[in-house]
Amino acid sequence: MAELDTQLKKGTLELCILALVQKERKYGYDLVEQLKVLGMIITEGTLYPILIRLRTDGYLVATWEESEQGRPRKYYEITEKGTQMLTESIKQWKEYVAIVNTIISHKYT
């Protein structure tokens, strides 16, 4: 089951990251901690390549800002393109979940 859990996470992390950043801009470590609190345990080594890809694809923008706690932080914000992609991804996710729920709710003998 651990392999299934890993595959499910890989398929949903972009959606979750965009949804969190849409609410408010975030820096990487903050995203890792928020995902952990919500029950999705990931490492920074998993997160940062996704953030880079989302930025490269134009779904996020990043800006460096000084931090009172030490070194500067890179904050991520969603773009209009990212908001459009998130809206479509949420729609597709809900449709997919409905299909899976229908399939698994049938009693097989």
pLDDT for res 85: 96
Instruction: Give the length of the chain.
Output: 109
Q: Is the CA virtual torsion 62, 51, 11, 30 positive or negative?
A: negative
Longest dimension (CA), the chain: 61
> How many C-beta atoms lie closer than 10 Å to residue 94's C-beta?
10
**What is the distance between the terminal CA atoms of the chain, rounded to a whole angstrom?**
22
Class of domain 2-105: mainly alpha
Residue 91 structure tokens: 């729609």
Q: Which tokens go with 80?
A: 């209009």
Q: Which pLDDT value is given to residue 15?
A: 95
- For residue 41, the model assigns a pLDDT of 86
Instruction: Tell me the average confidence (pLDDT) per consecutive run of 10 residues in the chain, 109 residues long.
Output: 68 93 95 94 92 97 88 95 96 93 79
